[in-house]
Structure 1
Amino acid sequence: MAGKLMRAVQYNCYGGGPAGLQHVKVPVPTPNNDEILIKTEAASVNPFDWKVQKGMLRPVFPRKFPHIPGTDLAGEVIEVGPGVQHFKTGDKVVSVVNALNGGGLAEYAVAKESVTAARPLEVSAAEGAGLGVAGLTAHQALTQSAGIKLDGTGPQANILITAASGGVGQYAVQLAKLGNTHVTATCGARNMDLVKRLGADEVINYKTPDGAALKSPSGRKYDAVIHCAASTPWSTFEPNLNDNGKVIDITPSPTALMTFALQKISFSKKKLVPLVLIPKRENLDYLINLVKERKLKTIIDSKHPLSKAEDAWAKSIDGHATGKIIVEP
């Protein structure tokens, strides 16, 4: 597709929010070794995307300007690069684009074969696009950081999931209930019924005193907390944890990282564990299969055309989306 132009959304500097996004036409990218070119059918917006634009991860992200944001997408394989073994033109896929380079908010994007999974007909593009960062983060937090066996064979565990109606939280509740877990979840009042339907055993309104204190209504102490909400002081978590309890923080603040360092020095049994997502195809395959079998749902907050990507951007920044925000070219 050399020389062909595509529609894309990009920004040229840090800051600017939704108004900083520009609608442009740029050349369709060419897949390199072990890469595939995907025609985007759906992409999702994550808080990571606008945090990069805001400059919160400088100087690592983005690699350069102008930058086309977006990491999660689902679509159709248009071209394969040298060395690609598992995919061919016409295959339907779900993929996670390299975060350094971005590229998801465009008509076409390139992705590594190693973070791309086949998408069966039973899984829609929008359902698949939501699984990337959010689904994989929930899966990694539960299975690797918290040690939950999602086949139900592990010992019973008490899990707290904060911001349970958000992108990561909705998946975390559903996945945790596949394991031998009792799930306490926090969310806003309007989403409490939804979170219960997703499987949570106890749901707390985060705006109530008990919700702010993260106290289980049944008085349980937590073996692990999947913390998907804004920064919370360690002093709030600590009294609610079992002796060896962990807080897995998916977006650790500088203060949280300092807490993590101090606990390392003091050999504390209760720990705050920062999570750094490492996308893997086998985990994406696992999640897609769960969606196919209707054991996992992608809750979709809203869908926006690529021409109105700034609306999706603003909704994510607002921080009150229920589930995933989807952009469709």
Structure 2
Amino acid sequence: MHCLTNTFMDHSPPWKTGGGLAEYAVAPASLTVARPPEVSAAEGASLPTAASTALQQLKALRVTSFDGSGGGNNNAPKNVLVTAASGGVGHYAVQLAKLAGLHVTATCGARNLGFVRGLGADEVLDYKTPEGARLQSPSGVKYDAVAHCATGTPWSAFAPVLADSATVADVTPGIAATARSFLQKVTLAKQRLVPMILIPKKEEMEWLADMTRQGKLKTVIDSRYPLSRAREAWAKSIEGHATGKIVVEMGDEE
């Protein structure tokens, strides 16, 4: 969920100072980018955290190019799984993986199967079906990489569907995931779980804004709320069933 901004796009202020749902917030100029006129305020508000997280997630999976060349290097994955693919981060991850030229399998709820296919996913799984719960690709491919945007999925669910040297980039890591990542690192395991922490980068935000300006990356807005109804917006966000982004709009109240 993000506040709607007007002229500038900025990463969320440091967590120590907050300001996520304020009418005014201070952000470092080094992390602020002018919003292109072709990019709406709602799109601009959604890119800095969600799209940046998806971009850094794919880079952690060894994807270095998004020009359709297959990831940009010999170590880039070919078959990628994106979990919670209809959500805020997930719907960007699917699009970016397809821009890289990867084969994408995605999970989501039954009502969003068509939506995720429309984003470009090659195969889509309903996570509530037996196949979806097992994360099993309909074509039987093993995943070289996983852009994990969901919560509560144990490593045991990933292990059977991963290629020998696969990487799972987890944007919502808990204590168990962090511990497993450390253990895999010290034991030199080939299959690796990588806990993700967003590190704001101005050049990435400029690139995402330009991709949006060109129409190559789209932001899907699930719903909009005025600031006076921010409590409702948070409640919907916490439910975890939004399709795309939830936006809180500043300015005129309904």
Instruction: Give the shorter-chain TM-score range.
Output: over 0.9
Query: Displacement, 1:265?
Result: 2.1
- Tell me which amino acid in the other structure corresponds to 1:94: M
- Select the residue among 64, 78, 99 that pairs with 2:15: 99
Report the residue type matching 2:42 in the other structure: A
Please give the residue correspondences for 1:240-319 in structure 2 after superposition, counting only pairs within 5 Å.
Answer: 240-319=161-240
Equivalent residue letter for 2:150: A
Determine the C-alpha separation between the residues in 2 that align with 1:245 and 1:191: 27
Aligned to 1:175: 96
Q: Residue 60 of structure 2 contacts residue 169 of structure 2 at CA under 8 Å; is this kept in 1?
A: no
CA–CA separation in structure 2 for the residues paired with 1:281 and 1:203: 33
1:124 and 2:55 aligned: no
In the alignment, the residues of structure 1 paired with residue 94 and residue 18 of structure 2 have an alpha-carbon distance, to the nearest angstrom, of 28
Distance 2:149 2:20 in 1: 23
Residue by residue, what CA displacement relative to the aligned partner does 1:275-310 show, whole Å, maximum 9, x if unpaired?
111011110001111111111111101000001100
Counterpart mapping for 1:231-246 below 5 A: 231-246=152-167
The residue that corresponds to 2:82 in the other structure is 161
Once superposed, which parts of structure 1, at least 4 consecutive aligned residues long, lie more than 3 Å away? none
Q: Which of 96-105 and 264-273 deviates more?
A: 96-105
Counterpart secondary structure, 1:223: strand
| TM-score of the aligned structures, taking structure 1 as reference length | 0.72
Higher strand proportion: 1
1:221-280 CA-partner distances (Å, limit 9, x unpaired): 111100001121111111111111000000101111111111112110000000111011
2:62 to 138, 146, 151: 146
Partner of 2:217: helix, strand, or coil? Answer: coil
In 2, Cα distance between equivalents of 1:299 and 1:199: 14
User: Per-residue displacement from partner, 1:161-200 (whole Å, max 9, x unpaired)?
Assistant: 0000000000000011011200000000000100000000
Aligned positions, number? 244
RMSD of aligned alpha carbons: 1.3
The CA distance in 1 between the partners of 2:161 and 2:62, in whole Å, is 16
- State the distance in 1 between where 2:51 and 2:127 align: 23
The residue number in structure 2 matching 1:213 is 134
Gaps of 5+ in 2: none
Normalized per residue, the structure richer in helix is: 2
**Paired position in structure 2 for 1:87:** none
Deviations 1:4-57 (A, max 9, x none): xxxxxxxxxxxxxxxxxxxxxxxxxxxxxxxxxxxxxxxx44xxxxxxxxxxxx
The answer as to whether partners of 2:4 and 2:247 remain within 8 angstroms in 1 is no
SS in structure 2 of the partner of residue 220 of structure 1: coil
| Residue type of the alignment partner of 2:111 | R
Bigger relative CO (Cα 8 Å, ≥ 6 apart)? 2
Partner in structure 2 of residue 196 of structure 1: 117
Alpha-carbon spacing, 1:306–1:108, altered in 2? closer, same or farther (3 Å): same
Residue deviations 1:105-134, cap 9 Å, x none?
A: 122111111111111111110011111211
